[in-house]
Amino acid sequence: QNWDKTITTIPTYALISDAFKNWRGMTESDGRRIKRSLYLDISTIRFCDEEMLERFSKIQFIKEYIDQTKQELRKYNKERRVDNSSLANGRRMTNIGTFRAYI
């Protein structure tokens, strides 16, 4: 039975020969998938500085993501003895990556 109460019949061989998605968990949680396109101005994408990360950390939904990622990047850059004098060296957080975690 589908979310709209219609019934779908699937031949048993199709479960083996074809790929399918199991939406049962989403149905049981009363959630639904909404797919939307986002248009971004590429000139606004940049590395996050400390001030930006402090502002983003006030958003409760992504605070844990920011804390974990900062710790992971510090460890990665330290293990590889990255020279942070150039933005091209090492790994850094970007505003688009943080936004992706938010949505």
When divided into structural domains, the chain yields a total of 1
Q: Please, which pLDDT band fits residue 31 given cuts at 50, 70 and 90?
A: low
Residue 30 above 90 pLDDT? no
Which of 16, 14, 93 shows the shortest CA–CA distance to 52? 93
- 30 within a domain of the structure (yes/no): no
- 37 within a domain of the structure (yes/no): no
Expressed as residue numbers, the domain containing 76 is 42-102
Bridge partners (DSSP) listed for residue 94: 47
Global pTM value: 0.62
- 10 within a domain of the structure (yes/no): no
- 36 within a domain of the structure (yes/no): no
- 31 within a domain of the structure (yes/no): no
- 80 within a domain of the structure (yes/no): yes
- 27 within a domain of the structure (yes/no): no
User: Among the ranges 28-32, 36-40, 70-74, which has the highest mean pLDDT value?
Assistant: 70-74
Helices marked H in 1-103 — which ranges?
A: 14-17, 24-28, 50-57, 60-79, 95-102
- 24 within a domain of the structure (yes/no): no
